[in-house]
Structures are given as structure tokens and as C-alpha cells.
Amino acid sequence: MNRHELVEMLRPGSRHPGARRLRQVGYVVVAAAIVDAAAATMVTGQRFAGLVAVPAAAIWCFFLVEWVLRLGLAPEIAPATTPWAARRAYALSPAGIIDALCALGPLAIVAARSAPVMSALLLFSSLKVLRSIPGVHLIARVFRNERRTLLSVVTLFALVLMISAECEYLLESRAQPAAFGSLPAALWWGVVTLTTTGYGDAIPITFPGRVVAGLVMVCGIAVLALFAGILASGFAAEIRRRDFLAAWDMVARIPFLRDLGAATIAEVARLLRPQEVSAGSVVMRRGQPGDCMFFIVSGRLEVQVEPPVTLGNGDFVGEMALITGEPRTATVTARQDSELLALDLADFRDLAGRHPELANAIEMEAAKRGGSRKLTSGPPK
């Protein structure tokens, strides 16, 4: 393994095969840390503390090596003005702080030699998986985009909470001084009721108090539904935006498509479906109906004909079945991990009819590769 491959493995969001394997190993190590933390708090684990400490030490050694590598290679992973600036930026970032705390775990275990400290440090390592979970960044972006609307809902929630707590305090304080004898106690009831949790530790017993409680329950459902609706619409919009940008980036990397113009690329990007296939996977099989064609963004595909044909970045495959309507004439497999863009039959015919330049680009690329495939701009006759 050379230095460049190591940097790619440690780069956040990298699709390098080594990066994927490292993330998988990281998940296994974190899972082992959680299991070891749970064992450290059990009577059996405390009785055999030495056995529990052995896997804990191995886990923390893994974290220590990873932290040292990320810190040392920070100038290449995330370049900055100077190497020390890149290392400082990583060390002070949330991910760097979590990595550092996890890496210093062995020292804390040796110093404390206590099960609670060891279990706490092991469980803290579960935060490391946040770096490799794409959904975490998506959640943060949705909250950032919808912060003003969400703030309005939170303000409404707080307003309803204060009014309901004050009303219950006035109506129930004499009848139940223990449960509603103060405004903070009534606020606790308000939080439990508005969130529809319903612990049952404080219940209005007067008729006016129960009427207010019923209204508060209805308001709580409405406010939470509004909050969930805002988040759902925000997630849907952000996912559409992310998928469009990812498809645009892939289309722009295909040589003969990136010259079609921004409007055509945008329309194609909305229709293409990104797919990732692992080495050895069958992309299409001979004899199957041709329901889509594939553009190769990265990787290698092999068309199993005599002699076999290897396709690489910028090539496409499967268009003849869409044009003629006949079954696939060859089996295509992935020789290595590949990124593909799939265009289904209906979208293909629609695009070919409305954008002849796209059909011409595919025809010219096929001719350039020496193929005899002929593409028409409309559906097969």
C-alpha cells in the first residue's frame, strides 16, 4: 500500500475500495467496543476484569493508530495553507476531538483501572461512526435549511407550554398541591402532556383542569405533526437536491456528455439513476429484456463476447436492446468496483426524441469505439 492509497482510505466520503473496507472494520471495532463496555459493567466482567481489558486495549490501539495517521496525513487529506494549519484544523474539528479522546483511552484505562471509566470511554467511541454515516450530514443540513421555520414551531410549542402550565397551576394547585403546587411542577406536566408521553405521575382531577388538559393534548399532536411535516418536506427536498447534484457530477465526468450544454445535462441528470456495482457482479444478462442502458462513470465492465470487450470510463452499454426492443445479446459483468448511471427505456426514447444531439453524441461515441451500432433519434420501428 502506497501513501496515496492510504490518504484515499482515510479521506471522508471516499469511495476507494480500501476506504470502504476501513469503514467496515471501523464499524466492527466500534461494535466490539460497545460489547466490551457492556461486559465491563456486569458482575462477571468485573470478576474477570483482566479478560475484559485485553480486547479493550486492542480496540484502543486501533483508535490510536487511526488518530495518528489522520493527524499526520491531514495536509494531504484536507489541504490547507500550511501542513500545520491542516493538522490544527483536523485536531480542533469535532471529528478530530472525538478521535483524540478515543485515542487517549488506553491512558485513561491504565490511570483509572475502573469499570465505569472504561465502559464510558468505550461507549464514547460509538460517536466515531458519525463521520462515515452520510445521513448525519443530511440531517444537519436539513435543520440548517429549515431553522427559521423550525424556530417558529418551537416558539409555538413553548407558548402553548407556558399557557397550559399556568392554567393548570391556577386550576389544580389547591386540589393537588403536591403535583401542581408550583409553576415548575406544572411545566413538567405540560411537557409530558404536549409531547404525548403521558407518564401519569401528575393528572388533573378538577373538571376545568381536565378540559384544559384535553385541549393541550390536541395542541401537542398538532404541533408535533407540524414539526414532523416540516422535517419530512425538508428531507425530501434535500434528498432530491443531493441526488440531482450527484447525477450532474457523474454526467459531467462522461466526456461525450459534458459538451451537450447545461440544459441538456440538467435534464439527463434528473432522469439518470446512479448505481454502484461491485467487482464480479452481473450488470446485465444475455436473453433478458432490455429495460435500461448504462453509462460508465468509473470502473471497468466486460462484455462477454468473442473476444471479450472491456469498457471503461465514459463508455456505455445496453442501448441496442432499447433501440430494437430485442433481448440482451450479451452478458456484461463488472471487472472492478464501478459507478454507473442507468437510463430506463421510457426516458431513453423520450430524450432521444426531444434531444437529437444526445442521440448523435451516443452514435458518434459508438462509432469512435469501432462499434457498428446505429442509434436512431426515435423509438424503434
> Any bridge partners for residue 121, and if so which?
none
What is the DSSP code (8-state) at residue 127? Answer: G
What pLDDT, on a 0 to 100 scale, did the predictor assign at position 333?
A: 92
User: What does the alpha-carbon distance between residue 18 and residue 8 come to, in Å, rounded to a whole number?
Assistant: 8
66-98 confidence digits (pLDDT tens)? 899 998 888 888 887 888 988 899 889 888 888
What pLDDT, on a 0 to 100 scale, did the predictor assign at position 253?
A: 66
What pLDDT, on a 0 to 100 scale, did the predictor assign at position 190?
A: 92
What pLDDT, on a 0 to 100 scale, did the predictor assign at position 117?
A: 64
What pLDDT, on a 0 to 100 scale, did the predictor assign at position 212?
A: 92
Which segments in the chain show pLDDT lower than 70? 1, 45-46, 49, 105-123, 134-135, 253-260, 323-324, 359, 361-381
**Which H or E element spans position 227?**
helix 207-252
Torsion angles phi and psi, residue 289, rounded to 5: -65, 145
What pLDDT, on a 0 to 100 scale, did the predictor assign at position 240?
A: 80
User: What does the alpha-carbon distance between residue 354 and residue 362 come to, in Å, rounded to a whole number?
Assistant: 14
Please, is 161 exposed, middle or buried when counting C-beta atoms within 10 Å of its C-beta (0-12, 13-18, 19+)? buried
What pLDDT, on a 0 to 100 scale, did the predictor assign at position 2?
A: 77
C-alpha pair distances (Å), 223 with each of 152, 161, 229, 235, 245: 11, 11, 10, 18, 33
What pLDDT, on a 0 to 100 scale, did the predictor assign at position 247?
A: 73
C-alpha pair distances (Å), 178 with each of 142, 162, 205, 217: 42, 19, 13, 22
Cα angle 376, 380, 381; round to 5:
115
Please, is 380 exposed, middle or buried when counting C-beta atoms within 10 Å of its C-beta (0-12, 13-18, 19+)? exposed
What is the DSSP code (8-state) at residue 182? Answer: S
What pLDDT, on a 0 to 100 scale, did the predictor assign at position 49?
A: 67
